[in-house]
Chain A
Amino acid sequence: MSAKRKNVRGERRWQGVGVSDGAAVGRVLRVHGGAQENVYRATLEAADVRREVRRFHAALRLSRRQLVAVKRRAEQLLGTEHAYIFDAHLLMLEDRKLIDDVEEYIRGERANAEWAVRVVADRLLAVYADIKDDYLRERGSDVEDVMRRLLVALGGEASPHRLSHDAVLVAEELLPSAVADLDFSHVRAVVSDAGGWTSHTAIIARGLGIPAVVGVRDLYRHARTGDEIAIDAATGEVVLRPSTETVERFRANASVGSQTAVAAAATVDKDARAPLLTSDGIEIVLRANVELPAEYEGVRRFGARGVGLYRSEFLFSQSGEMPSEDEQFEAYVELANVAGDDGARVRLFDLGGDKLPGGSSEIERNPALGLRAIRLCLRREDVLRTQTRAVLRAAAHGRLSLVLPMVSDVSDVRRARRIIEEERARLGSEGKEIGEIEIGEIEIGAMIEVPAAVIVADRLAREVDFFSLGTNDLVQYTLAVDRGNDEVAEWFRTLHPAVLQSISRVLSAATDAGIPAVICGEMAGTPAYAVVLAGLGARDLSMTASAIPRVRRALAGIDVAGAQDVARECLECACADEAEEIVRVRFTERWPSLFPPKTLPARKAEGYNFKRVDETAPSQS
């Protein structure tokens, strides 16, 4: 405890997980919770009670107006299926039970409105906390969200719109309302205590191309609005009240980031649509990975050649409802329009069984190896058929193809193909009857992400139209390392020779069979790794759209012949440490201006400690 006190004003460091790119230095803006902590109890004069009730009603009206606007923004940003939650929030604000209880408390106790709202909210929350059903119990968080909004409104603050230009949002977890509420043009970065790679915080931040670090345990409690804060999403570092030296260091990284993402985007229009050629004249295609409608804008802005991977599972709303055929059809038509002539590859729902309506509620002991992705699609044919029909219909309006996730056996492909053909035939005969169903042509590809698929890649290549290499899962399954588990983070090694040999083998199988192979995954979006991939023979990469400019810059500056030499050396390495060392040394020799040290894999000793570094360390030792 004494150590904590001593360092109250000093620099404090955290280590989280970076889920986007870039670095930033700014001032903390705590999102939500501030109002909750500052609620006080005042006793009113009898004459003031009526005025207090009116103040409560004014706050209800203000909150309502905000929510209507939030709902509209959410519909644009996240899609209608995610905006419904604000309809429930609006109804809560209109709820007689809430209004009557608060009024009664104000009158009966002569309490201020803030206190009355807090007391009534806490009573409600206590009831929700007792609900046995996990999903229904979580609705307590909606009540909390609405109450916090009311409390802020009572304070007369239109909080989300008072962002300073260097705001770094700090939250326990960004609630959907906060995400839709904020004017993100003013937000420099986002940090949250909770959340993972697929949290809303992460997805939105990547879509908007701002730095984000999640899983920063306990930061929210320590940070105060207005504190200076520095974050680097590339390393996951977060420093509160940074020293001058630290600020300098992060600013340097921030300017690298802005050069590559934001500034590069300004010059994108002219150059980005031109084919990307390496210095020895080999063309490499860069596409976008897309999940949210919010990311669509980036596809064009960053010059992506269509969508290399569309993660369709986002169509499932947060409540896990199955999207209908028509809802999916509309989403895929929109996607096809965004992707244009280069097309979009729609990955079938890559979900576990627990996420599906009517699915088994039994907990799988090992979900990563369980009934998920293509296995689930084959088990739940209704789901596969609905999705297939929607894609086939949408393909009449643009260029779409289907990707089968987590294929491990040729029979996965054959079974899926048979069902897809059946639906095509069925749509055809329905179309004859009512004469208005159009069906488009689609190619079918296999996601190569489990070792079995790598080993039989030559046989799979004869049965599909293309390969998609999902490097995130390929690394995870090949090395048997859970990428979400901090304890084994040091074993998650993208440049492990086993991973590189797998990629090389799959690319050769595709070349031999004469089918294209696109590499999607974080690896493709990291410039140094993208060069290694080019050296292994990759000519088609798909990544978060905001990563395209810097990958483009790196690939335009290297020669594939040189990359091949480096890749060959890496393939021969005995372990990941050696391969990383090869990359560090050779890249620095060959392309020193393109690859300054911090763009290369860090040495294990400094780079792989995912624990919080030293929360109580003095600012300078």
Chain B
Amino acid sequence: MPDKLIERGVVIVNRLGLHARAAAKLVRAAGAFRSVIRIERTDGGGSADAKSILSVLMLAASRGTELKITAEGADAVQAIDAVCTLIEDGFGED
């Protein structure tokens, strides 16, 4: 079965953006899946491996930043759901 590549757009909604705690949550969530998950700033400001906290932090995604999430692999659908839900819920912060 060929691996699926799917993508979805999300916006950072929590006040502090992708700071250390939020990034830690995101990386932990992404790490639970086998798919390759990438996060890209739609403004061309760079992209990151969702399983690397250092590269996620480097996105410097503050509130309002638009991101494109892509996932590729057998569990891509579940992976993208988990990551996008976390971001859309503001990491449960505010």
Contacts and interface: CB of A to CB of B under 8 A. Distances in A.
Interface string B10-34: 0000111111110110011000000
A85 B20 contact: yes
B24 A139 contact: no
A98 B54 contact: yes
A39 interface: no
A143 B18 contact: no
B54 A319 contact: no
A91 B24 contact: yes
Contact of B57 (A84, A128, A317, A358): A128
B77 interface: no
A131 B60 CA distance: 6
Contacts, number: 81
Contact of A127 (B23, B24, B58): B58
Contacts of A143: 54
B55 interface: yes
Contact of A84 (B14, B24, B27, B49): B24
A92 B24 CA distance: 9
B20 A319 contact: yes
Interface string A476-494: 0000000000000000000
B43 interface: no
Contacts of A317: 21
A135 B28 CA distance: 21
Residue with the highest number of chain B CB atoms closer than 10 Å, among A84, A96, A317, A319: A319
Interface in B27-84: 27-28, 49, 51-55, 57-58, 60-62
Interface in A298-340: 317, 319-322
A98 B51 CA distance: 12
A365 interface: no
A87 interface: yes
Contact of A139 (B19, B27, B93): B19
Nearest to A141: B20
Contacts of A139: 19-20, 57
A132 interface: yes
Nearest to B17: A136
A131 B54 CA distance: 13
Nearest to A130: B60
A97 interface: yes
Contacts of B16: 135, 319-321, 357
Contact of A97 (B52, B61, B94): B52
A417 B9 CA distance: 45
A161 B16 CA distance: 35
A95 B18 contact: no
Contacts of A137: 60
Interface residues of B, number: 25
A464 B16 CA distance: 37
- For B19, B49, B52, which residue has the most chain A Cβ atoms within 10 angstroms? B19
Interface string A11-42: 00000000000000000000000000000000
A312 B23 CA distance: 27
Prevailing SS type, chain A contact patch? helix
A253 to B, nearest CB: 41
B53 A88 contact: yes
A98 B54 CA distance: 8
Interface in A423-473: none
Contacts of A322: 93-94
A136 B57 contact: yes
Given A85-B21, A142-B20, A322-B94, A95 B15 contact: no
A135 B18 CA distance: 10
A91 B94 contact: no
* Listed residue (A87, A91, A95, A137) with the most chain B CB atoms within 10 angstroms of its CB: A91
B71 to A, nearest CB: 17
A133 interface: yes
A88 B54 contact: no
Interface string A72-87: 0000000000001101
B94 A321 contact: yes
Nearest to B21: A84
Contacts of A84: 20-21, 24
Contact of B93 (A87, A88, A357): A357
Contacts of B21: 84-85, 87-88, 317, 319, 321
Nearest to B27: A91
A96 B49 contact: yes
Contact of A133 (B24, B53, B60): B60
Contacts of B18: 136
Interface in A356-415: 357-358
A122 to B, nearest CB: 13
Contacts of B93: 321-322, 357
9 contacts: A85-B21, A92-B54, A95-B55, A97-B55, A136-B61, A139-B20, A319-B20, A321-B93, A358-B15
Given A95-B55, A135-B19, 9 more contacts: A87-B21, A91-B23, A95-B52, A95-B54, A131-B58, A137-B60, A320-B16, A321-B16, A321-B94
Interface of B: 14-21, 23-24, 27-28, 49, 51-55, 57-58, 60-62, 93-94
